Chain A
Amino acid sequence: MGAVATRKAFGDAILRLGEDPRVVVLTGDLKNSTHTEDFEAKYPERFVDVGIAESNMIGVAAGLALSGKVPFACSFSAFITGRQETIRVSVGYNEANVRIVGTHVGIGIGEDGATQMAMEDVAAMRALPNMAIIQPCDEVETHRAVEYLLDHQGPAFLRLTRQGVPAIHGDDYTFRFGEPDVLREGSDVVLVATGAQVAEALGAADALATEGVSAGVVNVHTLQPFGSASIVERARATGRVVTAEDHNVNGGLGSAVAEALAEAGAGARQVRVGLRGYGESGTTAELYAARGLDAAGIATAARALLDR
């Protein structure tokens, strides 16, 4: 199976689930980029394009949600989560069942460069106490996440890649909201990753295995609420944790894991693989290599822990 962008998987999923009359899709002149054109063609009465006006899109979605709909408000994550205060009041404080769908996350988007790259969106949404945050790692998980979000009560943020990501799960995969997905057990170090970095972490674990290092891999699809028990348990057992995410090291997965380990007194060392500084143009592969977000970079971070 080839690589599929999770934004594309979202478009397929929302089209498939669109028969549900509660579903409304909104976009801000990005129906092609967010893969919602097929939904518009099939359900034009439940598709709203507000134009380049993300704050208004958030409010319109809130009004739809308060009237019983399940609106999916789709844009580049940088542009929609950048309206954090609007989301805070219109969606969060109102406990509106809005799904903020943010595509084009991190440096993985590549050539478009820094202004289009959402690198602080998880931090902004994690700051809202009732905002669920889901970042699927592949096509199947994206489908399961969208199915889940039809009935989730409360606001939610779905974080999706522009670039293709390899298949990790089979069709029989069961998505458990709030529970990390343990992909591989290891006795020396645990690699905790989210989104596009899950595949990279599996690659890192393979590389480490050839050196005789046993690395576990945990996929965190739900960043909030953060189910930490399985991660704390493995951190205690190995004493070493690497977190990996295409997001600023502050406020995202790395922070969530560090907070959980500290509060649990897990006594493990952690290295946060993530972004420092703003983005730039390049291919996904070039940027991931340059910033240490690829399998090689994650393996290097793990070795640094093992050498201490």
Chain B
Amino acid sequence: MAQAATAPNVDDLARIAKELRVDIIRMLVKAGSGHPGGSLSEIDMLTCLYFGGVLRYRPDEPDWPGRDRFVLSKGHCTPGFYSTLARAGYFDRELLWTFREFGSALQGHPDRTRLAGVEVSAGSLGQGLSIATGMAISARIDGADWHTYCMLGDGESQAGQVWEAVMTAGNAKLDNLTAIIDFNQVQQTGLVARIQDLEPLADKFRAFKWNAISIDGHDHAQCLNALNLAREHTGEPTVIISRTLKGKGVSWMELDHDWHGKAPDEAQAERAIEEILNGGAA
């Protein structure tokens, strides 16, 4: 069983994250479209969540009632998510090369009805945290001990519905809910801070009765520590503000909004993969 239950090894996580970054680039160049920037920024946190002994899951029993729920609210970042799910064992890795193709289970944005491991179909930004809140309420009603994780984008956090959910979860003291903001600083057309600034983000969450942790989202030890603290925290939901770089690992993609939503060509992909494999990213 591929369920992540063993003690995490940070060297292993670094190797996994590197391999997943390569998968992301290969998926994108094969598909000819997609979202590299937010996939490369989220991948260290996803690596720690799925392979660092945090998330409870059974790929051979995707509907196992006791599983933790992971909701990818920033639904465009599927290359990072799908490469993670494939490695976790939810489906044959060869499916990665059908990403965005007609008839593929690997839709441009995640579709729970087509692909095991996807809890929520998403992609219209701002909706996922409400759904995750509903899941956490359901677990509380049932007295179940599974935990709900929701990953949001920073740009996404400009949406009003996100703050409606933050208010509800804070007031309900949903300590079985963890939000992860992949704060990669860049949205589709520029810097988040210039388009509609979120800061002071941790203070905003604290004002809504959340436990807030800010970390370097490319440092695996910090990610693991934050995820474990979030799970143990009682009386409040926790937000992990994961400070990242959009496009992390490919220097010429980093913090460039032009790489929010376009695929590299073959030559660019080769350069990107070479840099990922030789570089010190994560």
Q: Is the CB of A53 within 8 A of B167?
A: yes
Chain A residues within an 8 Å CB radius of B69: 67
- Report yes or no: B131 in contact with A62, Cβ–Cβ below 8 A: yes
The answer to whether B134 and A53 touch across the interface, beta carbons within 8 angstroms, is no
Contact: B161 with A55, CB < 8 Å?
Answer: yes
Stretch touching chain B among A87-95, A243-251, A277-285: A87-95
Let me know if A58 and B120 touch, CB within 8 A.
no
A24 / chain B contacts, CB cutoff of 8 Å:
137-138, 141
Complex: how many Å from CA A45 to CA B142? 10
* Residues of chain B within 8 A of A95, CB atoms compared: 113
Interface residues of B in 80-135 (CB under 8 A from A): 111-113, 119-124, 126-135
Asked whether A56 and B130 contact (CB < 8 A) given A51-B167, A86-B161, the answer is yes
Which chain B residues border A62 with CB–CB below 8 Å? 120, 130-131, 134
Classify chain A's interface size: 20 to 34
Contact partner, B161, options A59, A65, A69, Cβ 8 Å: A59
A67:B124 contact, CB within 8 angstroms = no
The CA-CA distance from A50 to B170 in the complex, in Å, is 11
B201 at the interface (CB under 8 A from A): no
Q: Is the pair A60, B122 in contact by a Cβ cutoff of 8 Å? A: no
Interface residues of B toward A: which range?
A: 20 to 34
A154 → chain B, closest Cβ, in Å?
11
* Residue of A56, A66, A88, A93 with most partner-chain B CB within 10 A: A56
Q: A60 near B134 (CB under 8 angstroms)?
A: yes
Verify if B203 is at the interface (C-beta below 8 Å from A).
no
Give chain B residues whose Cβ lies under 8 Å from the Cβ of A93: 111, 121
Chain A residues whose C-beta falls within 8 Å of the C-beta of B40 in the assembled complex:
none
B134: chain A residues within 8 A (beta carbon): 59-67, 71
User: Does A68 interact with chain B (Cβ within 8 Å)?
Assistant: yes
Question: In the bound complex, what is the Cα–Cα distance between A53 and B162 (angstroms)?
Answer: 11
> Are A56's CB and B135's CB within 8 A?
no
Q: Is the CB of A56 within 8 A of B165?
A: yes
Q: Which of B112, B130, B138 contacts A67 (CB 8 A)?
A: B138
Residues of B within 8 A of A85 (CB): 124
Which residues from chain B sit less than 8 Å from chain A, CB to CB?
69, 111-113, 119-124, 126-139, 141, 160-161, 164-165, 167-168
The 8 lowest CB-CB distance pairs between A and B, nearest first, are A63-B134, A59-B130, A56-B164, A67-B138, A60-B134, A53-B164, A63-B131, A63-B135
